[in-house]
Structure 1
Amino acid sequence: MDCNQHRGTAMLDHEHIQGWVSGLYPVLAPNPVKETLYERMGRVLGLEFVDETDLAFLVQVGVPAAAYRRAVDEIRIPAGHVLSAARARLLIGAGMRLDSDDSDRLLRIVRLYAQACLMLGDDATAMTWLRTPVRWRAGVVRLCPLELSLRDSGARLAEQLLQRLVHGVH
């Protein structure tokens, strides 16, 4: 389900999401980290990452189309968010790589998803959070974190919201 399908339904604001997540946080706090952000991102893409250097290099050379396909399947990224359907078929069929802009956009989405999975405790909760439109500030259009993650500034805003939710900061 993409973010736009929520537009006609009741949208959650920060306080509602905080209440929803606050019940999860006490369970998450005492558990040791079982997976790093880079391991989680690598699992989504079917690649291996050690640190940010690996991600920066991958943006330069381009994400393999097969890794793009894995991410789309796991995260259910809506068509057109990273690549058009026609371009995706072409790249996947030819076994090519995404260009650096598309690779960067994909890795932003994968990073946000991986962070949400690790911080919220499970994939289903992370998927719901990614697709739930949020009132970011009075007078600002409600967008879901997945939509925001298409641009760097939006992804940073979504990451900040995730941190605030998990740590109970309004």
Structure 2
Amino acid sequence: MPETTLDATLARRLSEQLGVAVTGPADLLRLATGRHLTLDVVRSLRAHGLLASEIYRIVIPQRTLTHRRATGQMYLSADEADRAVRLARITALAERAFGDRDRALHWLRKPKRFLEGSTPIDVVTSSEGTRLVEEKLLQLEHGMVA
């Protein structure tokens, strides 16, 4: 079962990736369910190693992002924010588990047998996929699987 608390390292990584203060699970819930994340989260996620193509596919399509910026709409929708939080959380958990951003991103982008050949980053679009990846990362972090 995925953890329900955030240690200081995970909270810091999430804060950096999302561009807003994250101190606990309640902050993530607030960010994922309301209009609290701005379009700047795209820049923050990119600055932490995620590819534009991954963000456009998972969080917000490039065309939508361009349109929102052009019309002055600066916030992600609730669905987009939820996906951004999921992506940031999985990335932060992977960085913590592997101790290195490059190794974490490599793991997230490599097809996995436990995901039937999908990559962890691809399944973040669903809550069930996110849960499976979180569980695997926590197992890896605690030495429960190779």
Q: Please tell me whether the aligned partners of residues 130 and 146 of structure 1 are also in contact (alpha carbons under 8 angstroms).
A: yes
2:96 corresponds to 1:118: yes
Matched, 1:141 2:119: no
Q: Which has the higher contact order (CA 8 A, sep 6+)?
A: 1
Q: Which residue of 2 aligns with 1:58?
A: 31
Give the TM-score, by structure 1 length. 0.71
1:81 Cα deviation from its structure 2 partner: 1.8
For 1:1-170, what aligned pairs fall within 5 Å after superposition? 35-59=8-32, 60-74=34-48, 75-76=50-51, 78=54, 79-93=56-70, 94=72, 96-136=74-114, 141-170=116-145
Are the equivalent residues in 2 in contact too, given 1:91–1:98 (CA < 8 A)? no
Contact 1:46 1:67 survives alignment (8 Å): yes
Q: Which runs of 5+ in 1 are unaligned?
A: 1-33
Q: Give the length in aligned residue pairs.
A: 134
* Gap regions ≥5 residues in structure 2: 1-6
Cα distance in 2 for partners of 1:100, 1:72 equals 20
Q: Quick one: distance in 2 between partners of 1:61 and 1:83?
A: 14
Q: Does the CA-based 8 Å contact 1:66-1:95 persist in structure 2?
A: no
Question: What TM-score, normalized to structure 2?
Answer: 0.82
Identity %: 27
Cα distance in 2 for partners of 1:165, 1:54 equals: 26
- Higher Cα radius of gyration: 1
For the aligned residues, what is the CA RMSD? 1.9
